Amino acid sequence: MTPGECYRKVLLFEKPDFIPNVEHGAMSPQVERDWRREGLPAGRSIEEFFGIPSCNHWSNWINDGHYDPLPGVEGQGWFDRTEDHYQVRDCWGRVTQWYRRGEEAENNARRVIRDALQTREEWEALRTHFDPDHPLRQIDNDHDTGGRELVVPSVVGAPYAFQGVGITSAALRKARAGGLTLQFNAPSMLGSLKEVMGFENLCMKIFLERDMVEDLIAARAEIGARLIERFFAVEPMDILHFWEDIAFKSGPLFGPDMLEALALKHYRRLIDLFKAKGGRIVSVDCDGDIRLLIPVWLKAGVNFIWPMEANAGMDVAALRRQYGKTFAMLGGIDKLALLKDRDAIDRQLDRVAPVVADGGYIPMLDHSIPCGVPFERFCYYTGLSQVLNVPEG
């Protein structure tokens, strides 16, 4: 089996030839620079050296930018450019400052100057820009933006000029023929709104102008439904994925009642459509302590949750005891253990070993490899992981 086939089988509680060695990558370029001095061979990436499959076993064909307002608001673009920084007004109207050099630039640090959608008038001005049938939301579109720059905010990186879906039918078919796992990223219900609107502003709108937030979520969900239809018309998608990130170590930013009231019907609409077309794996990515939110996602039809942040109380062994095989998991290894010693690594791997044997679980650090982890210690961790990743029988 290919890594992609094994990945899918684990998530469906089926028997793979092996459990793929999946990791999220380095938290910062500093990790690779340090490891070069400590023994990582020149000319080989971290993924290549440790045999960590990346795009050769799964692929994101659509990102959250496809659910942003297009063609966007007037005045968007890059401005206030200096040697040290630049500012951006994106298609939501949010203004952020980004850095050109130093550690801040390297880690895509930003400073929010003004959050988006602070008034109802701003929302009304954007409402028409969520047209699900806009040419830039079509597969095989010609990328024609009419000469306008469409600046899309990225959750994890600097804003970029969106040029449409950018996917061709031929590329999808080639990916399927090459054994890739095709993942369709659905619209984030609250995670992305928290990013572009700001948490305080979003909370105020939920309580004072709730219909505005509901309209916004519904508009993005409508785009998601249309895009699922278009993608499945070309190739079946293996995974329907939702990025949320609406929790911290202390718990979720929104309670389960709020999540259910605002988002459940939209989750269900997209998930039911995906499953009606033969899709089987529905994924949610949310950091932090999400235990209060899991029942809502299960009610919606989610069956794969990650990265299970151990330091936030997400114990995969305890969750398996509580929920059985209701959902598959990825992650669950406390990344901070790798900053300690080999014994700490051993304890982490011993803790999750029964869940690996039980199926439906791929051990992985509960996020990116942090700075300060010695190369030798990651080699030790990966070596033990390889032992765990050999199914019995």
Tokens 């979520």 map to which residue?
217
pLDDT bin (cut points 50, 70, 90) of residue 69 is confident
Q: pLDDT tens for residues 131-142?
A: 999 888 888 875
Task: Check whether 392 has a pLDDT greater than 50.
Answer: no
Q: What percent of the chain has pLDDT over 70?
A: 87
Q: Residue 393: what residue type? A: G
Tokens 């936030």 map to which residue?
312
| pLDDT for position 231 | 93
pLDDT bin (cut points 50, 70, 90) of residue 377 is very high
| Element housing 151 (H / E) | strand 151-152
3-state secondary structure of 24: coil
| Element housing 158 (H / E) | none
Task: Check whether 100 has a pLDDT greater than 90.
Answer: no
Cα separation of 193 and 353, whole Å?
Answer: 37
Task: Check whether 391 has a pLDDT greater than 50.
Answer: no
Q: Are 62 and 7 in contact (CB under 8 A)?
A: no
Q: pTM for the whole thing?
A: 0.91
Task: Check whether 280 has a pLDDT greater than 50.
Answer: yes
| pLDDT for position 387 | 45
What does residue 313 show for φ and ψ, rounded to 5 degrees?
90, 5
Q: Which domains does the chain have, with CATH numbers?
A: 3-67+165-388 (3.20.20.210)
| pLDDT for position 393 | 33
3-state secondary structure of 214: helix
| pLDDT for position 317 | 97
Cα separation of 390 and 314, whole Å?
Answer: 24
Tokens 């028409």 map to which residue?
128
Residue 312 DSSP label: G
3-state secondary structure of 286: coil
Q: Are 185 and 60 in contact (CB under 8 A)?
A: yes
Which whole number is the average pLDDT over 68-93?
A: 83
pLDDT bin (cut points 50, 70, 90) of residue 91 is confident
Which whole number is the average pLDDT over 314-339?
A: 97
Q: pLDDT tens for residues 226-269?
A: 999 999 999 999 999 999 999 999 999 999 999 999 999 999 99
What does residue 80 show for φ and ψ, rounded to 5 degrees?
50, 50
Task: Check whether 160 has a pLDDT greater than 80.
Answer: no
Cα separation of 364 and 284, whole Å?
Answer: 16
| pLDDT for position 107 | 75
| pLDDT for position 24 | 86
Q: pLDDT tens for residues 39-48?
A: 999 999 998 8
| pLDDT for position 113 | 95
Other beta carbons less than 10 A from residue 345's beta carbon = 21
| pLDDT for position 390 | 35
Q: pLDDT tens for residues 7-38?
A: 999 999 999 999 988 998 898 889 999 999 99
Q: pLDDT tens for residues 165-222?
A: 667 888 889 888 888 889 999 999 999 999 999 999 999 999 999 999 999 999 999 9
Cα separation of 375 and 194, whole Å?
Answer: 36
